Amino acid sequence: MARVAVVTGGTRGIGHAISVALKDAGYKVAANYAGNDEAAAKFKAETGIPVYKWNVASFAECKEGLATVAAELGAIDVVVNNAGITRDATLHKMSAEQWGAVIDTDLTSAFNMCRSVIEGMRERAYGRIVNIASINGQKGQMGQANYSAAKAGLIGFTRALAQEGASKGITVNVIAPGYINTEMVAAVPQPVLDKIIATIPVGRLGKAEEIARAVVFLAAEDAGFITGSTLTINGGQYIAA
């Protein structure tokens, strides 16, 4: 029987690629999204992957949404915490709302999602959790104190939960992408983007499919000895020990 995977932010950008790659690998995939109904409908029509709308920053909505997925597709074996937003500003200009929105969506969401499935995974003695962090959670980034803090927190969350789940057959890993060619990055002015690419040794932006392939690898049943790891995929822009 195919295992069930849930991907947050799963209808656009990196999440779109992850959802499709998991489906192609034989999973029953549920793609979560927050608010873009048009994009979600288009994604569903093109891929055949069912979509589920809820706000990952809300614990109650995550619990309800995941219960719906489980009722319709089966017990959830794989969770990919991919949803994320940016609200950039230097700290002396950053509002409490900008800080809170990013922390809630990019970090607290991982607690909301994992807390809602972890007991079932422990009972079944199986689970795969893959968290999508960022190069900026590893090295920091000017104007992104909120985003960098959230993504760094996601790495710490991963390492702690990996220790809790290891004896129960649950692996927890984190991928830290660099600059990937998505809508979010495409919105960066070209002169700025050119400067960013100049700092990437491979000389280009990453592809969403390259992140997706790594997720499929970590989500596999035979990846059970890999847990608590941070996989950096950034073209050599930042090499972490």
Q: Where are the alpha helices (DSSP H) in 11-78?
A: 13-24, 37-47, 59-73
| Residue 61 CB contacts under 8 Å (≥ 6 apart), including other chains | 54, 55
Q: Is 147 among the catalytic positions?
A: yes
Cα dihedral across residues 5, 134, 107, 128: positive or negative: positive
pTM of the complete model? 0.96
pLDDT, average across residues 36-59: 98
Catalytic residue among 33, 52, 126, 147: 147
Ramachandran category for residue 203: left, alpha or beta (phi over 0 → left; psi -120 to 50 → alpha): left
pLDDT digits (tens, 9 = 90+) for 175-227: 999 999 998 788 888 998 999 999 999 999 999 999 999 999 999 999 999 99
Share of the chain above pLDDT 70, in %: 100
4-233 homologous superfamily: NAD(P)-binding Rossmann-like Domain (3.40.50.720)
Angle at 114 between CA 168 and CA 178, to 5 degrees: 105
Q: What are the domain boundaries of the chain? A: 4-233
pLDDT for residue 241 is more than 90: no
